[in-house]
Amino acid sequence: MDSWDELINFISTETDQYISDKKKSYGLKLAAEEIISNIVRISEDKEGVIIKIKSQKVTSAKGKLAFELVIADNGVYFNPEFDSLENPSPKIKISERKEGGLGLFLAKVSCDSVKYIYKDFFNIYTLSINMEEIHDKLG
């Protein structure tokens, strides 16, 4: 939590600088904050947790341009199982819902693509937004 503001400021600066669509930018920020919040909560009893974030542009095999935030941590292993997250029913009252999952579901639907891998003792989350246009600064 000591670095929360620094991490969020980096994410905000990168998304605002490179994503012109405000809705997509907001969605990516929301997803990243949810992932970081989970890392902090799940790993609160573990000392020496490192969280690294990088931004990058990528081109898919189909030639589509995307902007990604890659968030990696050496905290407690946690696979969010993005592929199996289901849309929570709006008919269920909040007080009757089981705890957990809603924030990760929101992260999933806020991005065009979310991926998770565990490699070399790091949880690695890749949050991606497809771009129609991207600022020239990304080259």
Burial call 61-87: b when 16+ CB within 10 Å, e when fewer:
eeeeebbbbebbbbbeebebebeebee
Mean pLDDT of 98-126: 86
- Check whether 57 has a pLDDT greater than 60: yes
Domains and CATH numbers, the chain: 4-138 (3.30.565.10)
Instruction: Say what the pLDDT of residue 134 is.
Output: 42
Question: Tens digits of per-residue pLDDT, 83-111?
Answer: 765 655 555 555 554 555 677 888 888 99
pTM of the full predicted structure? Answer: 0.82
Instruction: Say what the pLDDT of residue 23 is.
Output: 92
Q: Which position has the higher pLDDT, 108 or 123?
A: 123
Instruction: Please choose, from the candidates 132, 122, 119, 20, the residue with its C-alpha nearest in 3D space to the C-alpha of residue 66.
Output: 132
